[in-house]
Amino acid sequence: MIKYYLNATQKFLENNIRDVTTVAFAQFVQEATYEEITGLVKQMILYRDKCVADMQQPECSELAIYVMQDKICRVKELSDKYGLSECCTKNSTNRLPCFFQRKSADASFLTPFQGPDPEKACQEYAEDPEAFLNHFIYEIARQNPFGFAPTLLSGAAIYKEAITRCCQEENKHECFHLKVTPITNGLKERSASQKNTCGVLMKYGPKVLKHLKVVEFSQKFPKIDFKDLGILLENMDHLFDECCEGDVVQCFRNEAKILNYICSKPDSISSKIIDCCQLTIPQGGECIINSGNDDKPEDLSPRAERFTEGDDVCQSLHEDKENFQAKFLYEYSRRHPELPFSVLLRIGVMYENLLEMCCKTENPKECYGQAEEEFQKIIAKSWTLVKTECGYFQNLGEEGFLNQCLLPLTKKAPQLPPQELISHSKKLASFFAKCCPLGEEDQFACVDNAVSLTIGELCGINRNRTINPGVDNCCKSSYAFSSMCFKDLTTDETYTSPTFLPELFTFNLTLCQGKEEQQKKRREYVIFFSFSSTCLSHIFSSGFAMMHVLVKTNKQKVQQQKQQMKEVKNVFRFAIGNSVIYFHISVLVFSRENSQGLSTKTLVYKG
């Protein structure tokens, strides 16, 4: 077993060069067509064959990632078409971060991947299964540019199994809905987590990422000793550097080293991974990642007394501060698998600051002896917030809670486009729909970790994004406290509202008339989807038009004079024939900010 994953990974890379290089090229040049990516992949296959025949050729000694980026840059039409010239003029070492920086975490400029009709999919799969699956890999890679290659190709393998089974079923549509659709959704979730990991590394540095991974691994493997954890973390450093940069080959190889180590010690690391270690590449790694937390040792007390009651705390801190801090996080996290990552990181920061102060006093032990009490305050504050938010969710439902997220978010970051504000709010509402029904322990970590993911996405992954001074401060100052910082933000005082146009909030029946394309163009600022013949029912059922108007209304009122805002209403009145339908905008109901609400005049739907 010791070298199984290393050997199996090398064999997998050799046998799956088409799919592996498709991931890399599609992530580096997301805009490229499938045909353009296929052309680059063919060049890499020729390069591989050439080097297999004679490894002594000079170009065969280069890292695969450099060769792939060189292949991109050599296709001048591709470079000119997609604005790659700046990266391509750099040498190999500097070209890598340049390609990384141009990746777009927001793939909204791409057409969302829609799986083909089941009947058509089965026909295409039967005609050429390799090409069919490779096209799927191209789509998921460009839609998830920060997803790690082993994760994406593991998803593709599961997709293949589901397609094979569903195409044999009589009711293909139902089978696709139950088995195929969840695969792409699962890949989005895993890629979002990996995107957050890369964001932590790029924005906060390796130390913060190390502490995050200490917390995660200590919760997942509470039986692991600190020495083994340290070895895993050393390998993790290389894994994240290369996986985040898009070096697909080294990403696979470094994951194999980690799997080798974990699978060689199931008794001392975790008993829950034995079945995962029997799986092939790349499913084995994903199985371990998705496995539940192991049971913590029975002799572990809730308190890490050594760090709050020991006599040698200050001495240990001064001898090796970084290692001591990691040990504290390890001991506290393995004792508390119910706590969210961010809460444990906040406890770690608070403990570090407390020791800096206490170790300068005459009686350090008495000073840091109060640490556990301070830890409980952090836990209680965070837990109260989660319970409060889940209470709102239960009272308002998913759509109402979405608006509750949308309005404060618009006030805090009005510079963001409506589409992005709505997207973040919808993700939060979706997370709360998943997390709030859980039991208390699971609910706490689920909600808090989801909020951290959303804020990480808002802050940006691979570039120093600037939104406004308040948001920027929360995004850059402390990863552990970013969600608390964002929670405390109020209305952005630096924002200048666009010119107030009452007509933006006046609608007429042309909203529902004409051809689909005409409707779309006519109401581009309100509607992002095409209306069918049941236009009004779409307005009421989806709430999407309402959300867009809420964003525009809230942006107007961030700095708008009260007199001007009298033209904006908190009730839509749709007068259609002899019927009047009131559609209430929940500006006053859902907003918990201390700002003035809108006037209560009626917004008339002119028909």
| Angle of CA points 284, 285, 291, to nearest 5° | 90
Query: Does residue 464 share a domain with residue 393?
Result: yes
Please report whether residue 453 resides in a domain: yes
In angstroms, rounded to a whole number, what is the distance separating the alpha carbons of residues 238 and 466?
Answer: 29
What is the predicted pLDDT for the residue at 505?
55
Least confident of 5-14, 122-131, 315-324, 470-479: 5-14
Please report whether residue 570 resides in a domain: yes
Per-residue confidence band for 65, with pLDDT thresholds at 50, 70 and 90: very high
In angstroms, rounded to a whole number, what is the distance separating the alpha carbons of residues 194 and 240?
Answer: 9
What mean pLDDT value characterizes the chain? 82
> Is the Cβ–Cβ distance between 341 and 215 less than 8 Å?
yes
Alpha helices for 436-466 (secondary structure H):
440-459
Please report whether residue 44 resides in a domain: no
Q: Given a cut of 80, is residue 593 above it in pLDDT?
A: no
Query: Does residue 512 share a domain with residue 448?
Result: no
Query: Does residue 465 share a domain with residue 410?
Result: yes
Per-residue confidence band for 406, with pLDDT thresholds at 50, 70 and 90: confident
Query: Does residue 475 share a domain with residue 509?
Result: no
* 180-194 residue pLDDT tens: 888 988 898 899 899
Q: Given a cut of 80, is residue 328 above it in pLDDT?
A: yes
Closest among 279, 216, 280, 289 to 258, alpha carbons compared: 289
Can you tell me whether residue 606 is helix, strand or coil? strand
| % pLDDT > 90, the chain | 51
In angstroms, rounded to a whole number, what is the distance separating the alpha carbons of residues 172 and 176?
Answer: 6
Please report whether residue 447 resides in a domain: yes
Q: Which residue do the tokens 């699978």 mark?
A: 263
Q: Given a cut of 90, is residue 372 above it in pLDDT?
A: yes
* 526-558 residue pLDDT tens: 433 322 233 333 333 344 555 555 555 565 555
Query: Does residue 540 share a domain with residue 474?
Result: no
What is the predicted pLDDT for the residue at 61?
87
Please report whether residue 74 resides in a domain: no
| % pLDDT > 70, the chain | 81
In angstroms, rounded to a whole number, what is the distance separating the alpha carbons of residues 123 and 203?
Answer: 46
Out of 488, 511, 538, pick the residue that ends a domain: 488
Tell me the backbone φ, ψ of residue 41, rounded to 5 degrees. -60, -40
Q: Given a cut of 70, is residue 122 above it in pLDDT?
A: yes
pTM: 0.82
Query: Does residue 446 share a domain with residue 413?
Result: yes
* 7-21 residue pLDDT tens: 888 899 999 999 999
* 18-46 residue pLDDT tens: 999 999 999 999 999 999 999 999 999 99
Per-residue confidence band for 422, with pLDDT thresholds at 50, 70 and 90: confident
Residue 287 parent element (H or E): helix 283-290
Please report whether residue 559 resides in a domain: yes
Q: Is 363 exposed, middle or buried (0-12, 13-18, 19+ CB in 10 A)?
A: exposed
The stretch 209-221 carries a mean pLDDT of: 95
Q: Is 362 exposed, middle or buried (0-12, 13-18, 19+ CB in 10 A)?
A: exposed
The stretch 449-469 carries a mean pLDDT of: 85
Residue 604 bridge partners (DSSP):
573
The stretch 162-173 carries a mean pLDDT of: 93
What is the predicted pLDDT for the residue at 340?
95
Query: Does residue 484 share a domain with residue 389?
Result: yes
Query: Does residue 583 share a domain with residue 550?
Result: yes
Out of 458, 488, 518, pick the residue that ends a domain: 488
What is the predicted pLDDT for the residue at 599?
34
Q: Given a cut of 80, is residue 331 above it in pLDDT?
A: yes
Q: How many CB atoms lie within 10 A of CB 109?
A: 8
In angstroms, rounded to a whole number, what is the distance separating the alpha carbons of residues 247 and 547?
Answer: 40
What CATH number corresponds to the domain at position 423?
A: 1.10.246.10
Give residue 536's domain range: 502-606
What is the predicted pLDDT for the residue at 393?
93
Out of 488, 518, 543, pick the residue that ends a domain: 488
Total domains present in the chain = 2
* 76-96 residue pLDDT tens: 889 899 999 999 999 888 898
What is the predicted pLDDT for the residue at 118?
92
Per-residue confidence band for 581, with pLDDT thresholds at 50, 70 and 90: very low
Query: Does residue 507 share a domain with residue 590?
Result: yes
- What burial letters (b/e) apply to 484-523, b meaning 16+ CB within 10 Å? bbbeebebbeebeeeeeeeebbebeeebbeeeeeebeeeb
What is the predicted pLDDT for the residue at 146?
92
Please report whether residue 464 resides in a domain: yes
What is the predicted pLDDT for the residue at 127?
95
Query: Does residue 458 share a domain with residue 555?
Result: no
Q: How many CB atoms lie within 10 A of CB 320?
A: 11
Per-residue confidence band for 589, with pLDDT thresholds at 50, 70 and 90: very low
Closest among 447, 189, 146, 442 to 292, alpha carbons compared: 442
Query: Does residue 474 share a domain with residue 542?
Result: no
Query: Does residue 508 share a domain with residue 480?
Result: no
Please report whether residue 522 resides in a domain: yes
> Is the Cβ–Cβ distance between 543 and 398 less than 8 Å?
no
What is the predicted pLDDT for the residue at 216?
95
Identity of the amino acid at 440: E
* 232-249 residue pLDDT tens: 998 888 889 899 989 999
Q: How many CB atoms lie within 10 A of CB 39?
A: 15
